[in-house]
Chain A
Amino acid sequence: MDKQPVVIIGSGLAGYTVAREFRKLDADTPVWILSRDHGGFYSKPMLSNAFAQKKTADSLLMKDAEKMAAEIKATVRSHAEVTAIDPQQKNIVVNGETIEYAKLVLALGADQIRLPIQGNAANQVMTVNDLDDYRRFRTTIEGKKSVAILGAGLIGCEFANDMATAGYQVEVIDLAPQVLGRLLPAQSASYIQHKLEGEGIVFNLGTTVQSIDITANGMQLTLANGRTLAAEAVLSAVGLKPRISMAASAGIKVGRGIMVNNLLQTNFPDIYALGDCAEVEGRVLPFVMPIMTAARALASTLAGKTAEVHYPAMPVAVKTPACQTVVAPPDANAVGEWKVEDCKDGVKAVFNHHNGQLLGFALMGSAVSEKATLAAQLPVVS
């Protein structure tokens, strides 16, 4: 009888990287990758800075599902909707068919958070969370001249810079008093804000959008501070919410994300989770580097060599050409303070514990050159 497969739900970076790394260690065990969409591989971080370079959704698709399947020697099922997981019987239901697994990996990703907004155009707010979204977004804003962006975080700022470079009039709205609120001290935030304003971007900070209504020329946004502004399209990038409902209904423990230990194992020993849907030992870590690290550890565990996930220091590049930026935000519970110094054409901010240990940094402009030196001084995350 054939070996039972390792089944991976999700074909994003997390799902495909686990599959690829597992295949390096185990040539025989069947691997199934179930994708809710087309199943092709693309770089998600590039979606927020592809427009100005005139990249289409088709040109961003690196490899389609067929090519990925051949390369990894896996079965990739596109448009596969998983409706149930039975952890006791170790099977799942996919498009009505029951499939048994030896090990199950949940790489489900996350949904964009939707803010509650009034008005008859509130349903026209777009999000870009995957390649198909990007395709729709491009089609929608083709020929238009202005866009409002909800959220001044990393993705919001990247989109704002990208759209401004492409010639759009851009308004950004965020409740936080500063841009990149969670990643930067105020002085650094105002530096990058000024650089982005230099590209023509207008920031509306410390306020929210109350309603969006259709007008003769597009839409009108009414802000909580009383201002109204016009835009022809609205993009929301206010954050991600791990996809947990399928796991929860199967009895898998969830918190903010699908809860796993440092082996990325849920409360069922043969079910694992990683990436944007997972809460690893209490932490939901965004961005690419934690996914790569977790995928390698999990592949090893799945291949029979148990490996805990240990994250190295993981600086993140913010893709805003107007202001080159690299951040390594301190842990949410970190105790210490920011020290900011201006340098020629840049700002260097370091977050130190009072004993002097470096816990995070934010480098802009010329200060980016210190990234490698500082990253080497950061402690291991866990």
Chain B
Amino acid sequence: MKVWQCLVCGFIYDENKGDPEHGIAPGTKWDDVPYEWSCPDCGVAKSDFEMVEV
């Protein structure tokens, strides 16, 4: 399981925790997060959501 960080706002996506508030179950790999998902903090779409591995 990996932890990713939004390049724009610093939001952390932790694969272990997922993003259950927005329908992403805990344990969801970044690759499996749907294309329509956007960063809950800054609204960047996944398509241009450049994540860096922390």
Contact = CB atoms under 8 A, between A and B. Distances in A.
B9 interface: yes
A289 B21 CA distance: 18
B21 A288 contact: no
A243 interface: no
Contact of B41 (A312, A317, A369): A317
Interface string A56-82: 000000100000000000000000000
Contacts of A293: 43
A46 B10 contact: yes
A20 interface: yes
Interface residues of A, number: 21
A62 B53 CA distance: 12
A292 B10 contact: no
A371 interface: yes
Interface residues of B, number: 16
Contact of A289 (B7, B42, B50, B52): B42
Contacts of A46: 9-10
Contacts of B7: 41, 43, 62
B32 interface: no
A43 B43 contact: no
Interface of B: 6-11, 21-22, 40-44, 48, 50, 52
17 contacts: A13-B8, A20-B48, A43-B6, A43-B9, A45-B10, A46-B10, A49-B10, A62-B7, A288-B43, A289-B41, A289-B42, A289-B43, A292-B42, A292-B43, A312-B43, A319-B10, A372-B21
